[in-house]
Structures are given as structure tokens and as C-alpha cells.
Amino acid sequence: MIQCAGDVEVIVVDDGSTDDTNSVLRAYGDRIHFESRPNRGATKARNRLLELATAEWIQYLDADDFLLPHKIEGQLAILNAEPDVDVLYGPVILEWQGQSGVTTELLEIPEPHDPWAQLALWQLPQTGSPLFRKEALIDVGGWREEQPCCQEHELYLRLLMAGKRFRYADAGGAVYRRFETGTLSTTNIARVWRERLKIEGRLEVHLREAGLLTLSRQWAINQARFEIARSAWHEARGIAVEAHAAIGNSGADFMPQGTAAPAGYRALYRLLGFSAAEHIADATRSLRSVLS
């Protein structure tokens, strides 16, 4: 983690590494503060970093990711002009490392920059993108240590529910590395779907009770449920059915959009419903496979 507020403070929690991390860290001397301990998990490590931090703004950085040189400086310039912001976030560069080499892609965050809708659609960025106000994290209890996955999204939800102010800025500079060996979010995808549905449900309930559930936010929540349902249809049919049932329970006149719902699929969905559209889509794919 790097935290900046005028001076720079670098704090590292070595959460059970099995390589030569400790010897590398010692080489920096008193320029950094570091602790080594048995593996306890990412959220506990982040909460320990929060305890150790002394300045106003916190930049988290997981071990396999990195920041471009301008990242923090550019974001702090914005915060100096808008001192009431609690979470400043922006686009992330995805670096995919596979057998065929390394590719990069800018993960842009589309407008409108409504953090409620962006959270619902899973568009708020991963851990390395934001600068967090330390007091805002403390106010919501830090990271939920028992959260098995979707950890930053669960934290985003509690920050929004607590009234913390989010601000989007084009100033990015966080690089998120992904590897073919998989991550926590890909090794148990059914768990990810279940946790996403929980977050979508909590988000919807809070917005409704607070009188903040606009039509665009309701659509974003239901679009997320639809995308989960489509993704889960083959691997976890029960989750798919549960996800789509939640759309009906919202009472919204919902119609999916985007790459998960091309025009032909939308027509089937409108006429026959989700399950029938999925069965027809399966039959169409099978037929194409035979003919090819």
C-alpha cells in the first residue's frame, strides 16, 4: 500500500509469501515500513494497513499489480481542488498475461458516472484504482474480513450507504494484472455469482428505503441480474433461475441491453421469457456446431 498526503509513506504487509519478499523489503531500509506474518487473507491485510497508516489518503496495491508514475500525483491534484471527496476513482489498465504474451486494455468507465448504477453493473474499478479517505474507511468499519470475494464491491456498497462522496476522474494509472492461472474471482465462479446477487439485493433494498431508487438504477440492478443469469445458465442453473426471478420481483418493466442480449435474443426474451429464450439459444448453438 502507498499512502500520500504531502509526504509519501510506503507500508507493506507480507501476508505469508513463500518467496524472497522479506529480503527484498529489507533492502529498502527505513524508507518503508513492513510487517511479515502468516497468511490471513487480503481483507485482513488491508485492515492492518489501515491501522498502520497515518496520513489522510490511502492507495491500496495488491502484490501482482502496479501503478504508473503519474497515478497518485494526478489524483491528488483533483482532490486538492475538491476537498469534500471521499473516494476518487478512474479507469484501470488491464494487463493480461497468457501463453501467447502480454496484452493490455483500458477498462473505461462509461457515463453517466452514477456510482450507484456503476456498482450495480460492476463498473466500479478494482482495488488499485481509487484513492480512499482514511476516515471514510474507518467510519464504515474497514474491509469486511469474512467477505469471500467481491471484496472491493462490498466495501463500495457500505461507503455509498454511509453517504460517502464518490468522484470519477479520467486520471487513471492503476494497472491490474490477470493471469491464465486464474484469480479468486475465477476459481470459484459460482461463489462470485452468489455474492454479486447478495450485493445487488442489498443495494436495491437500501435505495428503495432511502427513496433513491430511480428508474435508471433499477434497470442497472436488473441488467446485472440478467447478465449473471445468462452466465450461470449452464454451470449453475439454480443460480440463473434465482437471479432472473429477482428481476420479476422488482416489479420493473425490464428489457436487457448490451452484448449479453443481442437483438435476436431480446425478441425471444420479450415473447417467451428467459428460460425459453435460453433453451432456444442452446438449440441454435448446437445446430450451428453440427452444420459447421
DSSP string, the chain: -EEEESEEEEEEEEES--SSHHHHHHTTGGGSEEEEE----HHHHHHHHHHH--SSEEB---TT-EE-TTHHHHHHHHHHH-TT-SEEE--EEEEEEETTEEEEEEE--PSS--HHHHHHTT-S--TTS-EEEHHHHHHTTSS-TT--S-HHHHHHHHHHHTTPPEEE-S---EEEEEETT--HHHHTHHHHHHHHHHHHHHHHHHHHHTT---HHHHHHHHHHHHHHHHHHTTT-HHHHHHHHHHHHHTT------STTS-HHHHHHHHHH-HHHHHHHHHHHHHHHHHH-
pTM of the model: 0.92
Confidence band for 182, pLDDT divided at 50, 70 and 90: low
Q: 85-113 pLDDT, tens per residue?
A: 999 999 999 999 888 889 999 999 999 99
Q: What is the pLDDT of residues 42-95, one digit of tens each?
A: 999 999 999 999 989 999 999 889 999 999 999 999 999 999 999 999 999 999
**Range in 86-100, 139-153, 188-202 the model is least confident about:** 86-100
